[in-house]
Amino acid sequence: MASQRRKRGENLVIRYLILGAWALFCLMPVLWFLSIGLRPRVEIITPQPIYWPTFSLDAWHMIWEDWPMAKYLRNSILAIFGSVLIDLVLGIPAAYSLARYQYRGRDDIAFYILSTRMMAPAIVAIPIFFLFRNAGLLDTIWALMLIYAAINLSFVTWIIRSYMLDIPKELEDAARTDGASDLRILWEIIIPAILPGIITASVIAMIFAINEFLFTLLIASTPNAYTMSVALANFTGGSDGVIYNAIALVAFLAFVPVFLVVVAIQKHLSRGLTMGAVKGG
Amino acid sequence: MGTSSLPDAGATAVAPAMALTRPKPRRRSKRLKAWFPYLLVAPAVIYLFLITLYPGVYAIIQSFHAVKFGPWQPVGFANYVKLFGDYQFWGALWNTFVIGSIALTLQCVIALTLAFYAYRDPWVQGWRIIFLVPMLFMPSAVAFIFKLAFLDARVFSDLLMRVGLIDSNLSIQSSIWMSRSLLIIADVWQWTPFLFIIFVAALQGQDEEVEEAARLDGASWAAIFWNISLPLMKPVIAVALILRGIDITTMFTNVFIITKGGPAFGTETISYFIYRTGFKFFNFGYASAASVVMLIITIIIAQFVVKRAFVSVRT
């Protein structure tokens, strides 16, 4: 009895040692990077790293005054929200079709949609670049919106489909015997019932859109359509070298809203990240 | 835009869905009813054709041409012949494989270990939030964190010197393996949480009574995890590793920002190879040939690995 209790105690020590060590490994670089954002530029790259820098808001003024950061922010928000909207408009009916009807080729269509997630951006980058160039969409947020929507459509469709599969069929059948049309059932019964799934899918689509880098780099070649993610890479600004404190602040600017939203949908996160394959928790 | 490519696109894979884009009588006839599910799914499928099938066909055609700035010159299989003799192409495939498999293995082992210790912990919600933090930074920002800490400001070297492990600054940029390790560490730091979140959810979703029964029989916690929980998790682990594996094999941002593929092309991934030949040297026909090879690999993996994994987890 006593030995068992001691063993449990040792287990707890190991447990918190391991979890604590990883937590430290996660947070230390983040805190250090925050300190980079809040120090003057001369204290960033030095012969000896400086761990206790002087506090300075230089970078904060720089990103708003020297760069059109408000414009980049606006570009990001428009492109991201637009793309999520496109995904929902296309993805909800598609998910409903895949979840609720029996028809020939259904599983092949479902798998085709899933498989577009595996397409490496680099493979399709060149044709898409020419497609947008010929359409005159290069350097516009419309192009970004379309491409983000395309990247996320498979995710959104599969997540929503997974939530729809959970709804008991009796719920629909009752409405159907009352004479409601399929579209009305989708709109009035299914969509309200799977709202958490729709929100989860939207949040994950939003994160992937914020993170997208390669396409944005190719499509937005002038500051006209820069988003936060690519604007960062361009703070490497030529003769000035990499302006790390500005990069750090912009990174945190993008991080805070994402973090808050993700904490809010925590319970659904694992299901969303696996496109609906893993339920619970 | 690009609609000209759609008819042949529909002919190959999902013909019924394509046929439905033609206008249909409004009356709610039996025929409409049979086609209704196709109508619902068609817009999404057509949209996805535009970014996968259209570029795929385009890349195949372009790969048989020499494309610089002027008109396309047909060259037959010349691009492919050159590609298969190009040590940089094989190098890029090898680098992608080495960096990806090491990073993925590390992430899986670490995430399983952390999930094992965290999932019955009273503060599991707190651990999840803390561990999530790296994943929620933009990948381009993470790349800069690691570039600064390891290369430009040499904080990592400095810390190692302070504890006395090394005597002088590491010259990471001149060593292939140190540069690869840097890419691996950055990926492990940012994406281990992805697997962790999924594994914890899968463990929490398992039946507690089975565990409890085994515990009453005197089985240790580790034994229960190894013999009961882990086998039950196999399908979930497969799906999680596939999703992560896809992202790792397409690794671009970190290479672009941290190493630029160097030293001596030792960290050039396949995505970066395509980017470099296409958008730096404007050798689009050649880059497309590399894209087509990668596309074929992707389709094979999708058909044989991914399909099976996603089917098994659903049942």
**B229-256 tens-digit pLDDT:** 888 888 888 888 888 988 888 889 999 9
Q: Residue B14: which of A109, A229, A251 has the nearest Cβ?
A: A109
Q: A239 vs A51, which has greater pLDDT?
A: A51
Count of CB atoms situated within 10 Å of the CB of A155:
24
Q: What is the pLDDT of residues B261-310, one digit of tens each?
A: 878 898 999 999 999 998 888 888 999 999 999 888 888 887 887 777 77
B205 near A CB under 8 A:
yes
pLDDT surpassing 80 at residue B163: yes
Task: Assign A239 a pLDDT band (cuts: 50, 70, 90).
Answer: low
Q: What is the pLDDT of residues A53-63, one digit of tens each?
A: 888 888 888 88
Q: Residue B239: which of A98, A147, A274 has the nearest Cβ?
A: A274
Q: Of B85, B87, B83, B96, which is closest to residue B288 (Cα–Cα)?
A: B83
Phi, psi at B56, each rounded to 5° = -60, -50
Span B86-282 CATH architecture: Orthogonal Bundle (1.10)
Mean pLDDT of all residues in A21-40? 93
Give the tokens for residue B273: 């190879």
pLDDT surpassing 90 at residue A28: yes
Specify the pLDDT at position B103. 96
- Amino acid at the residue A114: L
Q: What is the pLDDT of residues A200-237, one digit of tens each?
A: 999 989 988 888 888 888 888 777 788 887 777 777 65
pLDDT surpassing 80 at residue B20: no
> Where do the H-state alpha helices sit in chain B?
6-12, 15-19, 30-51, 53-63, 78-84, 87-118, 124-132, 139-146, 155-162, 176-204, 208-216, 221-224, 230-249, 253-254, 270-275, 284-301, 307-314
Q: Residue B114: which of A19, A46, A255 has the nearest Cβ?
A: A19
Task: Assign B17 a pLDDT band (cuts: 50, 70, 90).
Answer: very low
Cβ contacts of B20 on chain A, cutoff 8 Å: none
Cβ contacts of A242 on chain B, cutoff 8 Å: 144, 147-148, 152
CB contact at 8 A, B200 and A270: yes
Give the tokens for residue B84: 């298969």
Q: Considering Cα of B92, then A208, then A21, then B168, what sign does the dihedral take? A: positive
Q: What is the pLDDT of residues B82-98, one digit of tens each?
A: 999 999 999 999 999 99
Query: Among all residues of chain B, which has the CA nearest to that of A203?
Result: B136
Most A CBs within 10 A among B135, B136, B159, B169, hence the mutation to make, goes to B136
In this complex, do A251 and B138 lie within 8 Å of one another by their Cβ atoms?
yes
A49 near B CB under 8 A:
yes
Specify the pLDDT at position A10. 65
Q: Considering Cα of B221, then B225, then B226, then B227, what sign does the dihedral take? A: positive
Specify the pLDDT at position A8. 60
Q: What is the pLDDT of residues A111-135, one digit of tens each?
A: 889 888 888 888 888 888 888 888 9
B148 min Cα distance to partner chain A (Å): 8
Angle between helices A266-273 and B124-132 (to 10 degrees): 60
pLDDT surpassing 70 at residue B315: no
Specify the pLDDT at position A87. 96
B16 near A CB under 8 A:
yes
pLDDT surpassing 80 at residue B122: yes
Specify the pLDDT at position A153. 94
Angle between helices B87-118 and B124-132 (to 10 degrees): 160
Phi, psi at B99, each rounded to 5° = -60, -45
Q: Of A158, A246, A118, which is closest to residue B301 (Cα–Cα)?
A: A118
Q: Return the DSSP state at A26.
A: H
pLDDT surpassing 70 at residue B29: no
Q: A156 vs B212, which has greater pLDDT?
A: A156
Specify the pLDDT at position A237. 58
Task: Assign A280 a pLDDT band (cuts: 50, 70, 90).
Answer: low
CB contact at 8 A, B268 and B88: yes
Mean pLDDT of all residues in A86-98? 95
Q: What is the pLDDT of residues A137-192, one digit of tens each?
A: 888 889 999 999 999 999 899 999 989 988 888 888 887 888 778 888 888 888 99
Angle between helices A69-100 and B30-51 (to 10 degrees): 140
Task: Assign B108 a pLDDT band (cuts: 50, 70, 90).
Answer: very high
Cβ contacts of B305 on chain A, cutoff 8 Å: none
Specify the pLDDT at position B97. 94
What ranges do the domains of chain B cover?
3-78, 86-282
Specify the pLDDT at position B304. 80
Instruction: State how far the Cα of A200 lies from the Cα of A177, in Å rounded to an integer.
Output: 31
In this complex, do B14 and A242 lie within 8 Å of one another by their Cβ atoms?
no
pLDDT surpassing 60 at residue B5: no
Specify the pLDDT at position B276. 92
B225 near A CB under 8 A:
no
pLDDT surpassing 80 at residue B183: yes
Cβ contacts of B137 on chain A, cutoff 8 Å: 30, 251, 254-255
pLDDT surpassing 70 at residue A253: yes
pLDDT surpassing 80 at residue A83: yes
Cβ contacts of B139 on chain A, cutoff 8 Å: 211, 213, 229
CB contact at 8 A, B25 and B73: no
Specify the pLDDT at position B262. 79
The interface predicted TM-score (ipTM) is 0.88
